[in-house]
Structure 1
Amino acid sequence: MKRLLLAMLLLCPAPPAPRAQPAAERVAIWVPGPDYRQVVLGAELLRPPGPGPFPAVVLLHDCLGVTADEERWAERLSGWGYVALLLHRFDVPGFDTTCRGEMSAAAAWQPIHAEAAQAWLVATRPEVRPDRIGVLGWGQGGSAALLLVHGSPEPHGRPFSVAVALHPGCRQPNPLRDMEAPLLLLVGSEDVFPPTMAPAAHCARMAARREGRRDKPLELVVYRGAQSGFDREGIDLFLGDRRFLHDPAAAEDAVVRIRAFIGRYLGD
């Protein structure tokens, strides 16, 4: 019997080894600083295995800085077949961690830095498809994504192919300017910028202006009862009077929607 069991074990194939997470490559990108001089912006780049070329997504964090949540998203995107470039905007001298409003001094530079990162990908990374680069942002980074698809003040080249914004403010300096790319907005119904600004209402007005446009659509998802940061695993804190609270159901749904939306415009 022992010999039979040994023979069966030898004939059975070994279980597949767990798939290793891709290693992040630390890169440096030259961007304009607060005094308009060129400074280095740090970033993490993750890419799928193989030669490519692959579509890419530039990730813009919120006022909390880069956390495990953004790093998980970079890994997730790489696993889906995208090059993920996660920018660290607080690496730039003079840009500190701040949650003082939707468009702080550091946040106001994010659209320009995102475009510089896009140009860097096109110029230096042959594994990236230059015509298939999207942008994904949270909070202040989400507001930067809105500016990018509405045309930023200092364009560096081609527009992004698609944009996704999670809990942005939806306040635009020129709301009548036409969009340059498809946009997915994901917001919580209970998210409020003190004292009275409710992003969901602003986003709804923005979506109403785009109703009926199929070439560069705007899709809005409002998660009932959700606060800001609904996709952040385990978070429950107040920054001033604004609450950040994890909502597992909303977070799970957001992953599904984001994958489908960017795949629609960055995939073949």
Structure 2
Amino acid sequence: MSLNSCLRPLFLAVPLCLVLMFFPACRNAGLQTGAGPPSVRDSGKNIATSAPQRVSFASRDQDPLTGKQVVIQALLFKPPGADYRRMPAVVALHGCGGMYSTVVSRRDSLSIRHLMMADLLVSEGYIVLFPDSFRSRGFEEICTVENRKRRLTQRHRLQDAQGALAWLQRRDDVLPERVAVLGWSHGGSAVLATINAKQPAVADWLDRKPPIPYFRAGVAFYPGCNDSLKARGGYTLAAPVTLFIGGSDDWTAPGPCVDLAAKLSAAGEAATITVYPDTHHGFDGPSSQPRRRLEVPNGVNPGKGVTVAANPAARDDAYAKLKRYLRAHLGH
């Protein structure tokens, strides 16, 4: 069996929870496979989530010109009953395209992918906060900007996530010690930065006296993992994390994520990863034809574009695993 056929993890003798769906060679090698879960709504047409509240909070990021904390606009979704009792919560971090729809008539509404996730999480009984890291700073998207030219970094996203956590913890309807952070792509990379206990901002939070609860768990959909894998200060988890990525992702390569999860797992840390073979970036999006995005410069093959394609089977499996994961870690 070639190394590429199983994304290189088979020779790693570590307790890594690596799931390769629909892949006979890897299945025969003893890797876990998943049964088909119930289907989710795949178009967003029947989403039952009530209208969100438009809120704002202070990021831990400071405006370099004024020295004041950056104010982040956000959307807050609440399940029934949140006005009467405290509930666990999830902070959801958008990707490089921003959190809103690209359809002009819906530009102030969440994208279908994000609406589907809001619906899933609210139906599970979680309060959900979507911080808008981009429009709050005057950006619409950064997918088409080369990494080295981006003015918005993972440091900013981390500080936004921490500001979101602090804001949620002050609310009367949130269980302050039961908040998870979830993200997609650029936001998934932000999740990895946000739960790296070696990051100074994270270490400062964890060292507070008296202690203040930090994120209880992290979830990253197709993140870029290179920065975390090669972090100069090292990488250890401040909270358990699970990753979902496509084996054919040519935007954020799966290999570094497999390596990161293996490294953490070998060190006894709570990191798991699910890799879906023959699956591309954005697999959890609404069903549509695969798209080749030539305007994106930061893929596995710079200058040659990237592929975005939905995979309903992978999405359904990831959603089912996500629900079990959050129930286990948020206790809901």
TM-score, length of structure 1 as denominator length: 0.84
Alignment of 1:43-62 (within 5 A): 43-50=74-81, 51-62=84-95
1:150 is the counterpart of 2:209: no
CA change 1:20–1:178 in 2 (3 A) is: closer
The ranges of structure 1 where at least 4 consecutive aligned residues each deviate by more than 4 angstroms after the TM superposition are: none
Q: Which amino acid aligns with 2:282?
A: G
Q: Which amino acid aligns with 1:256?
A: A
CA change 1:74–1:101 in 2 (3 A) is: farther
Equivalent residue number for residue 263 of structure 2: 209
Quick check: 166-175 or 84-93, which moved more? 166-175
CA change 1:25–1:94 in 2 (3 A) is: closer
Alignment of 1:1-268 (within 5 A): 21-31=49-59, 32=61, 35=64, 37-50=68-81, 51-66=84-99, 67-99=111-143, 100=145, 104-108=150-154, 109-123=156-170, 125-151=171-197, 152-155=199-202, 156=205, 158-171=213-226, 172=228, 173-174=231-232, 176-193=234-251, 199-211=253-265, 216-235=269-288, 236-237=290-291, 238=293, 239-240=295-296, 241-268=305-332
CA change 1:129–1:174 in 2 (3 A) is: farther
Deviation sequence 1:120-159 (CA, Å, 0-9, x none):
1112x11100100000100000000001111343245532
CA change 1:223–1:102 in 2 (3 A) is: farther
Which ranges of structure 2 fall in alignment gaps of 5 or more residues?
A: 1-45, 100-110, 206-211, 297-304
Query: How many residues in Structure 1 have an aligned counterpart in Structure 2?
Result: 245
CA change 1:113–1:78 in 2 (3 A) is: same
Q: Give identity over the alignment, percent.
A: 30
Which ranges of structure 1 fall in alignment gaps of 5 or more residues?
A: 1-17
Quick check: 106-115 or 160-169, which moved more? 106-115
Alpha-carbon offset, residue 34 of structure 1? 5.2
Query: Are the counterparts in 2 of residues 102 and 140 from structure 1 also a CA contact under 8 Å?
Result: no
Alpha-carbon offset, residue 72 of structure 1? 2.1
Query: Are the counterparts in 2 of residues 34 and 94 from structure 1 also a CA contact under 8 Å?
Result: no
Alpha-carbon offset, residue 113 of structure 1? 0.1
Query: Are the counterparts in 2 of residues 134 and 162 from structure 1 also a CA contact under 8 Å?
Result: yes
CA change 1:128–1:242 in 2 (3 A) is: same
Query: Are the counterparts in 2 of residues 65 and 97 from structure 1 also a CA contact under 8 Å?
Result: yes
CA change 1:79–1:154 in 2 (3 A) is: same
* Alignment RMSD: 2.3
Query: Are the counterparts in 1 of residues 76 and 127 from structure 2 also a CA contact under 8 Å?
Result: yes
Alpha-carbon offset, residue 87 of structure 1? 1.2
Q: Which amino acid aligns with 2:219?
A: V
Counterpart Cα distance in 2 of 1:149 and 1:113: 13
Query: Are the counterparts in 1 of residues 265 and 272 from structure 2 also a CA contact under 8 Å?
Result: no
CA change 1:49–1:19 in 2 (3 A) is: farther
- Report the structure number with the largest CA radius of gyration: 1
